[in-house]
Structure 1
């Protein structure tokens, strides 16, 4: 009877621990740590039960002949050692088998609940692989997008550079064209001014020559008039002298 109470107390303690583990649902401790704690606690429980049995080294078998599996579950404990331990404590064989089956059922149900509540290592690795693949895909997409945008930026920059060079060449052509036109106009204006100056010089030369001719003509006329005046003066003086001499002769 005491062994039954002890087994029931151990089963209840195990159920409380499993319910607490299921309640926290891995919010504070990782699933691997919780599973390790569960395995260690169950191992300690059944090792403590089987340590008092004298058959644990002689009649050791993985599973009990009385507690049968339903085909869907695999016992995680040595049920035979547990049954022998309970029998050694004075529990009848049927009751020990029933207690062992109940504890195993509770343990398997709790482990199934824990397995359904937490993610397995394979699923976690699969999720990590998926996340890594998605991250690699995202990185490749970001890199390809950056390369695409960089190539577009390079093309736009090259296009702008070509447009600037084209505008610069057109502006240089227009400046050269305007400069050539201004130079041509300046040369034409310079030639026209030179021609006008030449014409003015020719006209000035003609006027100078004409004035010189006029001056020479006036000078010749003055010389001729002077000779005429002198001639008339001499004739007048000779006439006056002749008249005076005639008057003197008459008076004498």
Structure 2
């Protein structure tokens, strides 16, 4: 049906309900205006298929652009992270080398200290050994002198005793001299 026929049909229905013809036309005109306004409002609320497709294409383009920017940003961020990681690795390696150097220095210092301490101990032992040797030599010399004095004294006693014949005296003196020289050679 066409809009004119619809209006005419509405007038007839109103007249069937005992509405005068002029009032029926006025009511129909008002209702038509209201319906037209409502349809116009509804038409403004909806978009055409072409506009919808255009909007979808714009949104798709914006989404693709956003994805591309996000991916580029991620790649840039990943590159920065890799650069920082390499920098940290370099710093760690540098610290490791410095620590190794310090450990080597401390170890070398300890070795030097131990070597010096060993040298001091060796010198102290050599000094004590020399002192002990000198002390032993002095004591041996003192014992020899004491033994020689005791032997001399004993020989003198033997010589002075009247029991021995005088022929033994020169022989005893020669024995005493050979014994003294043997003791001195040791």
Q: Give the TM-score normalised by the residue count of structure 2.
A: 0.64
Q: Name the CA shift for 1:206/1:175 in 2 (closer, same or farther; >3 Å).
A: same
Distance 1:230 1:119 in 2: 158
Q: Name whichever structure is richer in helix by fraction.
A: 2
How far the C-alpha of 1:159 sits from its partner, in A, is 1.6
Match of 1:225 among 150, 153, 156: 153
Q: Does 1:150 align with 2:148?
A: no
* Structure-2 residue corresponding to 1:160: 88
Question: For the aligned residues, what is the CA RMSD?
Answer: 2.8
Which consecutive unaligned segments of at least 5 residues does structure 1 have? 1-5, 13-105, 236-252
Q: CA deviation at 1:152?
A: 1.7
Q: Stretches of 4+ moved more than 4 A in 1?
A: 9-12
CA displacement at 1:9 relative to structure 2:
6.4
CA distance 1:185–1:158, shift in 2 (3 Å) = same
Higher Rg: 1
Gaps (5+ residues) in structure 2?
A: 11-32, 164-186
Q: 1:230 to 1:136 in 2, by over 3 A?
A: same
Measure, in 1, the Cα distance between the counterparts of 2:133 and 2:103: 44
Q: Give me the TM-score of the superposition, normalised by structure 1.
A: 0.48
1:196 aligned to which of 116, 120, 124 = 124
Q: What is the CA-CA distance between 1:232 and the residue it aligns to?
A: 3.1
Residues 181-239 of structure 1, C-alpha deviations (whole Å, 9 max, x = no match): 1101111111121121112112211211121111111110000011122233328xxxx
- For residues 8 and 139 of structure 2, the distance between their equivalents in structure 1, rounded to whole angstroms, comes to 155
Q: Deviations over 1:132-165 (max 9, x none)?
A: 1111111112112211221222122112111111
Number of residue pairs the alignment of both structures matches: 136
Higher relative contact order (CA 8 A, sep 6+): 1
1:134 to 31, 55, 62: 62
Distance in 2 between residues matched to 1:116 and 1:127, nearest whole Å = 16
